[in-house]
Amino acid sequence: MRLEQAEKPYHTDHSIVYSCQYHVIFCPKYRRAVLEDAVARRLKEMILEKQAEYGYAVMGMEVMPEHVHLLLDVDPRVGVNNVVAKIKGYTSHELREEYPWLKKRLPTLWTRSKFISTVGAVTLDTVQRYIADQKGV
């Protein structure tokens, strides 16, 4: 088997070979700018610490005050929608416990919506640069 994009990470198990990367964006409720400083740092830590447990790898991440960009490599047997739901559920619960002012400011931390796009129409490098450059915008 010849791989067209050798730089893409390919994973294998006894019955599957896959390479599934997704650009994911989600926002706090009412798109409030609450993801700053300590909250943003803690959110990043929490997303990174759940990678193995939830079945994904973070390839790129940027937290803006009113939205989050993730570039995730997801096991297709787990599914990107399930991964994003777990990330949002876990981080909402934990951040609202650690930062009680979030409970006063928002009825829930995240909106129910999200943006998910496969990485393929553009190169992986392009998406990684786009996410890394978000802070410079």
Strand partners, 22: 72, 118
Is residue 130 part of the annotated active site? The answer reads yes
Cα(111)–Cα(113) distance, rounded to whole angstroms? 5
Q: Interhelix angle for 80-98 vs 37-49, to 10°?
A: 140
d(CA 76, CA 112): 22
**18, 90, 99, 130: the active-site residue:** 130
- Determine whether 92 is exposed, middle or buried from the number of CB atoms within 10 Å of its CB (0-12, 13-18, 19+): middle
> What letters, b where the CB count within 10 A reaches 16 and e where it falls short, cover 30-47?
eeeebbeeebbebbbeeb
Tokens representing 13 are: 């198990």
Q: Catalytic positions, please?
A: 130
